[in-house]
Amino acid sequence: MGARVAYLVVGLSVAACLGALFGCAGGNFNSGQRAPWRGKVEEACLTGGAVHASTYVTPMETIDGPGVCGLECPLRVSGLADGRVTVTPPATIGCPLTAALDRWIKTSVQPAAYRYFGSRVIEIGQIASYGCRGRNGNNWGRISEHAFGNALDIAAFRLANGQIITVANAWWRGTPREQAFLAAAFTGACQEFYTVLGPGSDRFHYNHIHVDLLLTNAEHGSHYCRPILRRGVPMAQAAGDPKTASVTPLPFTGPGAD
């Protein structure tokens, strides 16, 4: 585990941890039952072989409540991509999200890292996985996907060459290569996950990229991705040229879905 990444994650996750600890003290989700489809999706993911137990993906005891919070088959994930990418600290998430993160690392994150830095990502720093709480810490509002182990907040990436790219610093003030890398990773996440929020989406996501798999996201259609990245070209081409690319995230004042 990289010391600097660990230090960063500890600092950024204090508020998130407090929210998870106290989130169940009140709120509109202390009663009722979890939607049955959540458990079925978890089970189907595991029985289908999308994720396998290993030294870095460890099955945990069922998390049941309070209220609707919890997972039928939670996993302690300390590594992705067959353990080649460390997760700091280990995340408590479900099988569907674990499988989606593996795909995202393979199809978007690593290609972007090689393209812009000639190196691969060996560690991601996360600041929130499972936590029984409402969206954006508002426990009287809508329930967060974090309450079902169906979301992850990513704050930093560490490369094999030792470079650390933090979302809080590099998104707005990073080098052209750092900004282009984050833009490519973000754009790829928008194709893989159902809800993706980053700096500029609202005041709650200034320091991380939130990804989740809200499978019943009828409110926003199949995908909800904010902010929309613009560089004078379509979003799919936002990564640009590795030598000159620079992407400016546009401000967005709409509701978050963290």
pLDDT per residue over 123-159, tens digit each?
999 999 999 987 766 655 688 999 999 999 999 999 9
> Cα(180)–Cα(258) distance, rounded to whole angstroms?
24
Cα–Cα distance between 49 and 99 in angstroms, integer?
10
* Cβ neighbours of 204 (radius 10 Å): 16
User: Which tokens is 157 given?
Assistant: 């990436």
Give, for all 258 residues of the chain, the pLDDT tens digit.
Answer: 565 655 455 444 433 433 333 334 445 566 677 888 899 999 999 999 999 999 999 999 999 988 899 999 999 999 999 999 999 999 999 999 999 999 999 999 999 999 999 999 999 999 999 999 877 666 556 889 999 999 999 999 999 999 999 999 999 999 999 999 999 999 999 999 999 999 998 888 999 999 999 864 444 456 789 998 865 333 334 444 455 444 444 333 333 446
Q: Is 69 helix (H, G, I), strand (E, B) or coil?
A: coil
Q: How far apart are CA 89 and CA 107, in angstroms?
A: 23
Residue type, 145: E
Cα–Cα distance between 96 and 223 in angstroms, integer?
16
For the chain, the average pLDDT equals 81
CB 255 within 8 A of CB 194: no
CA dihedral of 18, 20, 22, 28, whole degrees rounded to 10? 140
pLDDT confidence of residue 125 = 97
Q: What are the residue boundaries of the structural domains of the chain, listed by start?
A: 3-249
- What distances in angstroms separate CA 108 from CA 38, 74, 179, one per listed residue? 27, 25, 14
Q: What is the pTM of this model?
A: 0.80
CB 91 within 8 A of CB 123: no
pLDDT in tens, 74-103: 999 999 999 999 999 999 999 999 999 999
CA distance 93 to 90: 9
